[in-house]
Amino acid sequence: MIMRHEDIAIKIQPEELVGKVSGLQGDGCRLVQIACSKTKENNFELVYSFEKDYKFCNLTFEVPPDAEVESISSMCFSAFLYENEIHDLFGLKIKHIAVDFQGTLYETAVKYPMSVETK
């Protein structure tokens, strides 16, 4: 099955995230995953995937590495693990996570192994 990320991606602004997610939650979408990746410009790209009736939609936006992103775990409780993971592997700060492990979810030998600086 062909499912290019580009076809289902919706570009948003970082500030819009919480509003968009609560809208999707209200529509009965469920959170599939949150992914973080580096971009060429050394920014972080975040992808929030939602699904409803086998229709996927990916909210994406870019943030600079020192930015703070608002957590969505107050609306989607299941987001807390993904957000902790992103914090531990990438070093991106996420505010107000429902269960915040404070960087102890993965204790890696190299701190923030997938972050922009250590490449």
Partner 1 sequence: MSKRTIIPFGPQHPVLPEPIHLDLVLEDEKVVQAIPRIGYVHRGLEKLVEKQEYANMVYVAERICGICSFIHAQTCSQAIEDLLPIEVPERALYLRTIWAEMSRTHSHLLWLGLMADAFGFEALFMHCWRLREKILDMVEDTAGGRVIFGSCKVGGVRVDIEDAKLKDIVIQYNDLEKEIKEITDVFVEDYSVKHRLVDVGVMSKEDAHVLGAVGPTMRGSGVAKDMRTLGYAAYKYLKFEPVVETAGDCYARTKVRIREVFQSIDLIRQAVAQIPGGPIAVKVTGNPTGSSFQCVEQARGDVAYYLKANGTKNLERFRVRTPTFANIPPLLKMLGGCELADVPVIVLSIDPCISCTER
Q: Which is nearer to partner 1, 15 or 28 (CB)?
A: 28
Q: Which is nearer to partner 1, 15 or 119 (CB)?
A: 119
CB-based burial label for 55 (10 Å; 0-12, 13-18, 19+) = exposed
Select from 48, 34, 43, 36 the least CA-distant residue to 65.
43
Task: Give the binding site for partner 1 (CB under 8 A).
Answer: 1-6, 8, 25, 28, 30-33, 35-38, 40, 47, 49, 51, 54, 56, 58, 76-78, 80-82, 89, 99, 101, 104-108, 113-114, 119
Select from 14, 46, 63, 43 the least CA-distant residue to 117.
43
Q: Which is nearer to partner 1, 77 or 95 (CB)?
A: 77
